[in-house]
Structure 1
Amino acid sequence: MPSPLEALRALGLAESVAALERRYATGRRDSVGQGTVYDHLGTLASQVIVPGLDRRELVRGVLRELLDPGHVDQKSWSTCAAATVQLWLALREPSEYARLVAGLASYNGRVHLAGGPFLQRHGESVRPDQSGRTPSSRLLQSAFMDFANGDDRYSNATDQSTRDEGPAYAGLYPDQFDVLIEAVTARLWDTLEVGSGNCADAVALIARATSRGEHVPVSLRKEKMMHRLLVERSDASSMHCVDPVGVRQRVPVEEFRTRLGFVSLPGGSSEAGPSLFVTAGETEAWVRLKTLQPALPDFCPGCGEPAASALEVSHSFGSLFVPACGGCNKSRIGGILSAFFVQAPTPGIVAVRRASDNPPFLEITARHPRWLTQLWRLNRGSGRNYLERW
């Protein structure tokens, strides 16, 4: 068995690997502890790969994208959401990036995600298509699209997802994007829908996150569509973005505010439930989300009302509206809080209770194996929407 360096030398790529070692601390292991960038590049250079892939072009593409993540490119395909997650990996977790590509390129085409189940190679992504993307981008983006759309079926040939009922569609919806990025990064993400009433707050939160070294996915309005990209840093006049069409761009803050549609704010590890701070009109409250404890009754502990009447649940949109329980919570929190479920079918809501009065504190409990991770459309119509990872 050749060493990683010997395998890469055989492909004539040792010089690029040396450049990668100068750029990154290649001794850092991937998200599941299986190896370093160097290890996974060696695997790509030597393992049995699926017939139809050009090994040298595959490894060369990975090296190029890791040396400069600005080379990650969706081309003309509607895969900006998937390419944004690809960008995030290339910028922040190069060893994990290489591990996923190696798994997708392997003979069985299956690789375990750090925060979720397996990612499976899309059958149409092996051979070159009309997009002109690198083999690594083609493999990752099509697999990400097919994973995120759940029971829908993604076609790399048509660049659309189809379902048993309803029209075909391109790209990913916000909830599908969150399913994908949480599974890939093993972190919790909170998505805020941005409008005229909360764009200033959203931009401030992005600036705060990037000042801490985060890369923040956003959706910007582009003609009649939404386009996903990453905000890398910000200053008083501009938002500096990495766009998955293979470019870096500087967007003036005022233009950024008018175009901003969604922002996904990074949280902690998936081992802890998300806690968010909500400002609703003139009142404030802590919100904690947790999963069901087996002994917990199906009643609201705050007022004794059955959960069905204490909460109003919209199953068609998978949304929970609180507070609808006037007995214990409605007087404490102004406005409407909508919690969005990232997985179907919509899980049952067990309870909501006021856990403390100073500060007022709500606890929402769901009959669901994962954390209830999405809080968005906060206090709709109040003119002041605010969301912050605490």
Structure 2
Amino acid sequence: MSLELDQRLHFYEPQLREGLNAQTLAKLHQSSLENQPHVIFENHENPIPLEEVMVDPHRYQASSQALLSVPLQNGKALVIPLENLQKEHLLESLEKAHPLNPRQQHILIDAAAPLLDQIRHSSQPSEGLAKFAPGAPADAKLNPVDQKSHDLLRQIGKTINEEVKNGLLPAENKKSELLKRFLLQSAPAFAHYSKNKQAALLKLLADIPLKELIAADIQGFGGGAVGGGVIGEGKEGHYVNSLLSSVVQLINTNRLSYGVYKAIKDLKKAPLHADLQPQRMGLLRSSLQDIAFPHQINQHARGTCAATSAQILLALQDPGKYLNIVKALASPDGKVDDGSIEREPGTLTDDLSGRSISGRLIQPAFMEYANKELNYDNATDKHSDAHSGLYSSETTRLIQYLFPLRDYQNYSIFEGEPKPTQAEVYAKVKAHIDAGTPLSVGLRWDDGGHRVIVSKIDAAAKTVYLLNPWGELQSMPLDEFKDRLRSACLPKESNQLKPALEFLPGAMAKTEAYPEIASYRYRTPLEQMQRDPKLKTSFSAAQQTEIGDAFKDLKLGTYALEYLRNTCNKHPLSAAQATEITQQLKRCSSAYEAFQLLRLIENGYDAVKKGSITQTTLSQILNVRPGAFLNAAENKALLEALIAGDKVKIQLKLENSALELAQVYVKHGYETLSADKQEAFRTAALKDAMRSNPLISEEIKTLLLSLNPEKLEKAEMLKLLQALALGQQDKIETQIQNLISKDKATWSVEQAAEKLESLAKAGCWQAFDALFIDLAVKWTWDSDNLAESLAIRLKAIIDKVPKDTLKALYKTMDDMYQDGTTVIAKNILMGAKNW
């Protein structure tokens, strides 16, 4: 493949490139020049536009392999495998194309829209009560709240059907009676409503199709590529409760006031932008979930934690206003009455952030308002000055707008004169929380910052309770919270006498609903290593820093350290092993490779302990970089072989990865790169194969690099790289002998003696013997003084030569030279300490 093509194509799975024939690569190249997605089939001469494939996907089902090529902004094309062209599989492939940037995602979704619509419509039930709205994954499951509603409604429905059948209930009253009995049984407070209030709510619900009332929803594609940190929890899409479940929750938590009822009614019938009309029920469903279950509001795959925290506060404290803002943003002009907040471009249709419809509308609009004169771009998730998220002052501006009567102030260790201390910020926060006010606070989180809502600080239990805009209730140790606290949006003093948590609705008022958040979700990898007893004692301070830096550079979440922690728990590491692991992690070029390496380390040390493999074999496995040079299936097979102790399969995968590594390096070093860069690359490749391999001594590394190995022929370089990757001393020494034989004719006796010294230090005795004999002949040809000076210099080296090597070398020379040619060399050997 040409250098141009290599540069134009970006493979979703790096290993996908290997094995593609020239014809397929040429078709990929052709499609990469077009500004629309194409599908490449082995049995079709030309790339076919995705839009055309969408029209009749069954036409192409028999194709053995399909590749989707999507144009990227940087001029490259992303190549994604499509394993099956049945609608469901193609849809799954499209939905899981995480690495696309927002522009590419829009291109892909727009092109796939006809198929997506067809699938959604075909999954619409013709009768009965579907558990999910159309478009939800086939394996989606109801949460306990919705399952309870679904089961109760079906149970009541059976009773009512019998009553209608037996003439006990008029058929025209069937739906209203079903809803009334459902509410009376699931929401006891409904029985205490006035007749007029009951009738009004029942009429509102009766105007909605029953299947829309009971169906839960999964809204928003994407969001699952997130690996932790400040941007979400990495789940695909957003689970939305059914309308009936949300209404029941509002009744049971005494939050269905007349104002909220009116706001629901107004949103249900409000004029919407044309693009939102097909999403009306989904919008109503997600908006009601937001006010009924505010703790489930989720930022997903966008860095909008501050805006989402403000969204949660508004849904908690003023649900009617919340629904009115949603209605305004969804309207044709997309503006609230005073024009201060308006809909952001790109939020009318799914933006692959994984958010609900209401979240997708509100969060970008809040980001735009908060940043004042700057411009927020939902597609890139950045402001026009390139910063992401919101500063504490920007967050305060937003919250003050939402709650104008509370007079919010920004209180941050980074702002104000004089700047408050961390302890002063904590004291203010605790005072407000104890007085009944939930607060938006800024915390140091991983390598950045994160905004959460504090509902309670329990000093006695040393615990802080949080509403995390990842759609989760969580608790955190008080010491961690104090150490991370940076800022808070503080209102006027509250006059309540109970902690804020006790005023919250539903599960949010119960401390047992707040499980402790795992520390890896907010600590940096370095912090986790420094605070975890096993990791701290297994790795030196310098190694902890190196591993932390490697994780940061690779954007690998702290969660991946769990594999390393498991290894240390089961297998105390020696200093050499800790060094090897550190060096191999530093060598990784992607988060995927590092993740695979950590899994191999844990399972590999288990295999060593069981005796399935030796430590040497494990070092070989780690050094051949299977995460970079084997595909996902082969990596899985290697892990399974380690667990099963299958030595034959382990050896096969080991050799395959070493060969792949060598072939890729050789291809770049002899073909792909321009001639003026090839030798430098070969040297770098050799160093990479050696630098982290404990099976190769520093002396061998130094000796090999001194022999100019970058000048080897392509075939010899392939053998050398394989041997280095596997740490095969005999094969490495063979290549060292090849290098010596090519250059020794140009060496002076002194230069040859230097190499001999290096060979002895490296323990390359086969090459040492050959060169020593060659020198022995040369010494006879030179003057006695030269021979004596060399003898003095080499005596210290010969003293370190093993006895067996000395005897064998002497015999070889004695057999080869009967004329006294090597007498001086023989005398040197006989004078060695080990003779």
Q: Common fold, TM-score beyond 0.5? A: yes
Compared with structure 1, are the counterparts of its residues 25 and 247 closer, same or farther at alpha carbon in structure 2 (3 Å cutoff)?
A: closer
Q: Which has the higher contact order (CA 8 A, sep 6+)?
A: 1
Aligned equivalent of 1:82: 307
* SS of alignment partner, residue 74 of structure 1: coil
- CA-CA distance at 1:81 after TM superposition: 0.9
Aligned equivalent of 1:157: 379
* SS of alignment partner, residue 274 of structure 2: coil
* SS of alignment partner, residue 158 of structure 1: coil
Q: Which is greater in Rg?
A: 2
Q: Does 1:45 align with 2:45?
A: no
Structure 1 gap ranges (5+): 29-35, 270-390
2:394 to 161, 176, 179: 176
1:123 to 329, 345, 362: 345
2:411 to 192, 208, 212: 192
Q: Does 1:207 align with 2:435?
A: no
- CA-CA distance at 1:240 after TM superposition: 0.5
Whether the aligned pair in 1 keeps the contact of 2:294 and 2:312 (CA below 8 Å) is: yes
Q: Does 1:103 align with 2:337?
A: no
- CA-CA distance at 1:9 after TM superposition: 5.4
Count of aligned positions: 254
Q: Distance in 1 between matches of 2:351 and 2:480?
A: 35
Q: Does 1:144 align with 2:363?
A: no
Q: Distance in 2 between matches of 1:257 and 1:140?
A: 31
Whether the aligned pair in 2 keeps the contact of 1:8 and 1:45 (CA below 8 Å) is: no
* SS of alignment partner, residue 16 of structure 1: helix
* SS of alignment partner, residue 145 of structure 1: helix
Q: Does 1:227 align with 2:450?
A: yes
Worse overlay, 118-127 or 8-17: 8-17
Whether the aligned pair in 2 keeps the contact of 1:5 and 1:42 (CA below 8 Å) is: no
What are the Cα deviations for residues 273-317 of structure 1, in whole angstroms up to 9, with x where unaligned? xxxxxxxxxxxxxxxxxxxxxxxxxxxxxxxxxxxxxxxxxxxxx
Q: Distance in 1 between matches of 2:329 and 2:411?
A: 32
Letter in 2 for 1:84: S
Q: Does 1:238 align with 2:463?
A: yes
Q: Distance in 2 between matches of 1:235 and 1:14?
A: 35
Letter in 2 for 1:98: L
Whether the aligned pair in 1 keeps the contact of 2:408 and 2:489 (CA below 8 Å) is: yes
Letter in 1 for 2:412: E
- CA-CA distance at 1:148 after TM superposition: 1.3
* SS of alignment partner, residue 142 of structure 1: helix
**Larger strand fraction of residues:** 1
Whether the aligned pair in 2 keeps the contact of 1:7 and 1:46 (CA below 8 Å) is: no
Aligned equivalent of 2:232: none
Q: Distance in 2 between matches of 1:180 and 1:19?
A: 28
Letter in 1 for 2:261: Y
Q: Distance in 2 between matches of 1:141 and 1:235?
A: 31
* SS of alignment partner, residue 62 of structure 1: helix
Compared with structure 1, are the counterparts of its residues 254 and 19 closer, same or farther at alpha carbon in structure 2 (3 Å cutoff)?
A: closer
Letter in 2 for 1:173: Y
Whether the aligned pair in 2 keeps the contact of 1:148 and 1:172 (CA below 8 Å) is: yes
Q: Distance in 2 between matches of 1:129 and 1:6?
A: 32
- CA-CA distance at 1:265 after TM superposition: 1.0
Compared with structure 1, are the counterparts of its residues 138 and 71 closer, same or farther at alpha carbon in structure 2 (3 Å cutoff)?
A: same
Letter in 2 for 1:209: H
* SS of alignment partner, residue 255 of structure 1: helix
TM-score in terms of structure 1 length: 0.61
* SS of alignment partner, residue 492 of structure 2: strand
Letter in 1 for 2:280: R
- CA-CA distance at 1:7 after TM superposition: 4.1
Q: Distance in 2 between matches of 1:220 and 1:16?
A: 31
Q: Distance in 1 between matches of 2:445 and 2:397?
A: 23
What are the Cα deviations for residues 217-276 of structure 1, in whole angstroms up to 9, with x where unaligned? 11000122111111011111111110101111111111111111111211279xxxxxxx
Identity of counterpart residues, as a percentage?
A: 31
Letter in 2 for 1:146: E
Aligned equivalent of 1:262: 487
* 1:1-390 matches, cutoff 5 A: 4-8=204-208, 11-12=212-213, 13-14=243-244, 16-27=246-257, 36-53=259-276, 54-112=279-337, 118-162=340-384, 167-186=385-404, 187-194=406-413, 198-236=421-459, 237-267=462-492
Letter in 1 for 2:380: T
What are the Cα deviations for residues 46-82 of structure 1, in whole angstroms up to 9, with x where unaligned? 1221122211111111122222111110012011111
Compared with structure 1, are the counterparts of its residues 229 and 15 closer, same or farther at alpha carbon in structure 2 (3 Å cutoff)?
A: closer
Whether the aligned pair in 1 keeps the contact of 2:392 and 2:489 (CA below 8 Å) is: no
Q: Distance in 1 between matches of 2:253 and 2:281?
A: 21
What are the Cα deviations for residues 128-172 of structure 1, in whole angstroms up to 9, with x where unaligned? 11111001111110110111112211111111111xxxx411111
**Larger helix fraction of residues:** 2
Letter in 2 for 1:159: D
Point out 4+ residue stretches in structure 1 off by more than 6 angstroms: none
Q: Distance in 2 between matches of 1:224 and 1:16?
A: 37
